[in-house]
């Protein structure tokens, strides 16, 4: 019997890492996850997988730890999902964001080059790199114009991934993913912030919800659909970059409308505006053209925007339990 394929997932404790680990386990992979040491570990998203995945400690700031993780796991596939991924934090911690989300990728690529050059590498690139967009919709060839320190760090990471492919002939792909959400989304991101608040208000546990720019628009998809695309990129004959998106833009206002109405509420009675939540610079028309992924990977999104927001609101409502008396 041939040995199982091995995958190393950085960022396994995050939204995408947890879904990708499930996806790979279902396909018979032996899954290793890179985790950082913390004074109290938060493994909620992978609690149900703890017996089935191998956790290796390491940090994108520490090259020796990455080298050790690759030596231990001997991966056929590396998925680099770890990053400081919250855009507002990148203005308050710009250097750390550059270290994690930018230079950290070079550390990992350099280790791969030395330890396991035959492995295949996936880099979690982002639509945030398009920022002040140069064309609508955005494609793999659209020039980058990032508008946040996070976007700048990710643009560096994107180019270094391409550079290692071209300089050393490594199998490195960059997936340029547009926003994707789920019930496991971090609580500070807008869709989850809204679904959590709608659930808490419906349960009588919260009074109102302060929001930033309601006119902001994004191309929002479902995280479970998107991890499938990551895997498909590493199964191609030769490495290429792909945009992964739904091709539809919606506003934050629509997120509020759907989440609240799913739970029988009118969002206008609960949502207030807080200028402190506005960003120093916004990105205006992020919407992706995923035709290359459709044609070459056979990938397409399966979950609509409305279905996504409804399932998030229902999930948070269930988790919030019964109303207080």
Residues labelled as active-site residues: 126, 128, 150
Query: Distance (Å, rounded) from C-alpha 5 to C-alpha 269?
Result: 52
Residues 283-302 that bind ligand GDD (CB under 6 A): 286
Q: Is 61 in the site for ligand NAP (CB under 6 A)?
A: yes
Interface of this chain with ligand NAP, residues 139 to 158, rule: CB under 6 A: none
CA distances from 80 to 101, 104, 179 (A): 10, 10, 17
Q: Name which of 36 and 279 has its Cβ closer to ligand GDD.
A: 279
Angle CA 219–212–89, to nearest 5: 80
CB 82 within 8 A of CB 34: yes
Residue with tokens 């703890």: 50
The reply to whether 100 sits near ligand NAP by the rule CB under 6 A is yes
**252 contributes a contact to ligand GDD by CB under 6 A:** yes
37: its two tokens = 């040491």
Distance CA(190)–CA(270), nearest Å, equals 16
Q: Is 262 helix (H, G, I), strand (E, B) or coil?
A: helix
Structural contact between residues 28 and 232, judged by C-beta atoms closer than 8 angstroms: no
Per-residue x/- track, 88-107, ligand GDD (CB under 6 A)? --------------------
Nearer to ligand GDD, 32 or 178 (CB): 178
Task: Work out how close the CB of 165 gets to ligand GDD at its nearest, in angstroms, rounded to a whole number.
Answer: 21
The C-alpha atoms of residue 240 and residue 24 are separated, in whole angstroms, by: 21
- Residue 142 in the binding site for ligand GDD (CB under 6 A): no
**Per CB under 6 A, 59 contacts ligand NAP:** yes
Q: How far is the CB of 222 from ligand NAP (least distance, A)?
A: 11
Distance CA(269)–CA(181), nearest Å, equals 25
Please say which residue, 210 or 319, places its beta carbon nearer to ligand GDD: 210
**84 touching ligand NAP, by CB under 6 A:** yes
Task: Give the phi and the psi of residue 56 in degrees, each rounded to 5.
Answer: -125, 130
Helix 104-115 / helix 63-73 crossing angle, nearest 10 deg: 40
The binder of 14, among ligand GDD, ligand NAP, none, by C-beta within 5 to 8 A per type, is ligand NAP
Q: Which residues pair with 121 in a beta bridge?
A: 78, 172
Which of ligand GDD, ligand NAP, none does residue 277 bind to, with CB < 5 to 8 Å depending on kind? ligand GDD
Q: Kindly list the residues in this chain that would bind ligand GDD in the complex (CB under 6 A).
A: 85, 87, 126-128, 178-179, 188-190, 193, 211-213, 216, 218, 252, 277, 279, 282, 286
Q: Kindly list the residues in this chain that would bind ligand NAP in the complex (CB under 6 A).
A: 10-11, 13-17, 34, 36, 59-61, 81-85, 100, 124, 126, 177, 179-180, 186
């Amino acid at each position: 019997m041939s040995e199982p394929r091995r995958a190393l997932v950085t960022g396994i404790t995050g939204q995408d890492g947890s879904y990708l680990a499930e996806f790979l386990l279902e396909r018979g992979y032996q899954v290793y996850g890179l985790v950082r040491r913390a004074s109290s570990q938060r493994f909620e998203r992978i609690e149900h997988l703890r017996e089935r995945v191998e956790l290796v400690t390491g940090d994108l700031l520490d090259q020796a730890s990455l080298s050790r993780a690759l030596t231990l796991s001997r991966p056929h596939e590396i998925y680099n999902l770890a990053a400081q991924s919250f855009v507002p934090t990148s203005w308050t911690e710009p250097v750390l964001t550059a270290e994690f989300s930018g230079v950290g990728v070079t550390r990992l690529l350099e280790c791969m080059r030395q330890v396991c050059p035959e492995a295949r590498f996936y880099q979690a690139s982002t639509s945030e790199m398009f920022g002040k967009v140069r064309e609508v919709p955005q494609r793999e060839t659209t020039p980058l114009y990032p508008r946040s320190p996070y976007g700048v760090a990710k643009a560096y990471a994107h180019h270094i991934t391409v550079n290692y492919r071209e300089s050393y002939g490594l199998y490195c792909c960059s997936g340029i993913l547009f926003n994707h959400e789920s019930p496991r989304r971090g609580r500070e991101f807008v869709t989850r912030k809204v679904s959590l608040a709608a659930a808490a208000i419906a349960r009588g546990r919260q009074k109102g919800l302060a929001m930033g720019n309601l006119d902001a628009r994004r191309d929002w998809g479902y995280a479970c659909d998107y991890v499938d695309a990551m895997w498909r990129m590493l199964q191609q004959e030769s490495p290429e970059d792909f945009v992964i998106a739904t091709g539809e833009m919606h506003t934050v206002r629509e997120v509020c409308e759907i989440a609240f109405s799913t739970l029988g509420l009118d969002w206008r009675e609960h949502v207030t505006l807080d200028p402190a939540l506005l960003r120093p610079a916004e990105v205006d028309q992020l919407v992706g053209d995923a035709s290359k992924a459709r044609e070459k990977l056979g990938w397409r999104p399966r979950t609509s925007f409305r279905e996504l927001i409804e399932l998030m609101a229902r999930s948070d409502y269930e988790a919030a339990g019964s109303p207080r008396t």
